[in-house]
A and B are shown apart, each in its own frame.
Chain A
Amino acid sequence: SSELTQDPAVSVALGQSVKITCRGDSLRIYFASWYLQKPGQAPVLVMYGKNKRPSGIPDRFSGSSSGNTASLTITGAQAEDEGDYYCNSRDSSGNHLVFGGGTKVTVL
C-alpha cells in the first residue's frame, strides 16, 4: 500500500481549473514532486519543491502544500493536460521514496 493517497480520477471542463491532491504523513516534512504520464509514455516531471516548474512546463500548473496535503492545480486546463498524475516524496522515515496511486485527469 502507498503512503501517499490520491483520488483515482477527476474530470475538468476545457479551460476550467482542477486541483489534484496528495495526502500523506511524510508531506508534513517533505514537499511532493508531481509527474504527468500519458498513455504509452514515461512520466514527465511537472512540479517540484515549493511551486517550482521545470523548463517547458506551462505556468498554468502550480503547486501548494498545507499540513499533510500537497496539491497540483491546473488553471485553464487544456486537452494536452489529460493523463495520469503521480505525486512522489520521501517516506516518513526519509530513507525511501514513494509514489501516490495516481490520479487520472480527463479534460472534457
Chain B
Amino acid sequence: QVQLQESGPGLVKSSQTLSLTCSVSGDSITSGDYYWNWIRQSPGKGLEWIGYSYNSGGTSYNPSLKSRVAISVDTSKNQIFLKLSSLTAADTAVYYCARGETYTGFYVFDQWGQGTLVTVSS
C-alpha cells in the first residue's frame, strides 16, 4: 500500500515562498501512469486543487494560482515538491499531496497524505 507524507515549515512569513515535500513510500512514483497532486484546504473551507505533475513530465496548475506555483518531482528520492510564492494570509491552509489516476471519463485521487498545516504570518 502506497503511503504519502507531507513535510515542511508550519509557519512562514507573508511575501515569502513556501516549500513543501511529499515523500512517497511503498511504491515508486514512476511505477504507473500516475499524477502527483497538491491540494489545500483553508480553515473551515473546502478543498482546492493546486496542481499536479505527472509521470511523463508535464504539469498542470489551478489557473488562480498558476503565476505563483511550481510542482516538481525527484524520482531518485521518490518525492514531490510544491513551491508557492508571494504568500499572504489567504494561503494559510492544510496542504495535502494526493496520487491521481485518470481514466476515460473521470479522474480520481486514490491515495492521500495526512496533510500538513501551514500558517502564513505577517
Interface residues in chain A, defined as those with a beta carbon under 8 Å from any beta carbon in chain B: 2, 29-33, 35, 37, 41-45, 48-50, 54, 84, 86, 88-90, 95-102
Contacts and interface: CB of A to CB of B under 8 A. Distances in A.
B62 A96 contact: yes
B46 interface: yes
B contact face: mostly helix, strand, loop, or mixed? strand
22 contacts: A30-B106, A32-B106, A33-B107, A37-B47, A42-B112, A42-B115, A43-B96, A43-B112, A45-B110, A49-B103, A49-B105, A50-B105, A86-B47, A88-B47, A88-B107, A89-B106, A95-B60, A96-B60, A96-B62, A96-B63, A98-B49, A99-B39
B5 to A, nearest CB: 11
B46 A42 contact: no
A102 B105 contact: no
A33 B106 contact: yes
Contacts of B46: 2, 84, 86, 99-102
Interface string B67-107: 00000000000000000000000000000100010010111
A99 B47 CA distance: 6
B114 interface: yes
Interface of B: 37, 39, 46-49, 52, 60-63, 96, 100, 103, 105-110, 112-115
Contact of A42 (B37, B49, B62, B96): B96
B48 A89 contact: no
A30 B108 CA distance: 11
Contacts of A33: 106-109
A45 B99 CA distance: 11
